[in-house]
Amino acid sequence: MSNSDEIVRYTDAELQEFDQLLLEKLTQAKEQLEFYLQQISEIGQSDDSKIKGLDDGTSTVENERLYTMASRQRKLIQHLENARLRIQNKVYGVCRVTGKLISKERLRAVPHATLSIEAKENQGRK
Same domain, 78 and 28: yes
Same domain, 118 and 76: no
Is 5 contained in some domain?
Answer: no
Contact between 87 and 15 (Cβ < 8 Å): yes
Is 4 contained in some domain?
Answer: no
Q: What is the pLDDT of residues 18-48, one digit of tens each?
A: 999 999 999 999 999 999 999 988 877 765 5
Distances, alpha carbon 102 to alpha carbons 15, 19, 25, 97, in Å: 13, 15, 19, 11
Same domain, 71 and 46: yes
pLDDT-wise least confident of 1-10, 24-33, 86-95, 108-117: 1-10
**Count of structural domains within the chain:** 2
Contact between 80 and 25 (Cβ < 8 Å): yes
pLDDT at residue 18, as a whole number: 97
pLDDT at residue 19, as a whole number: 97
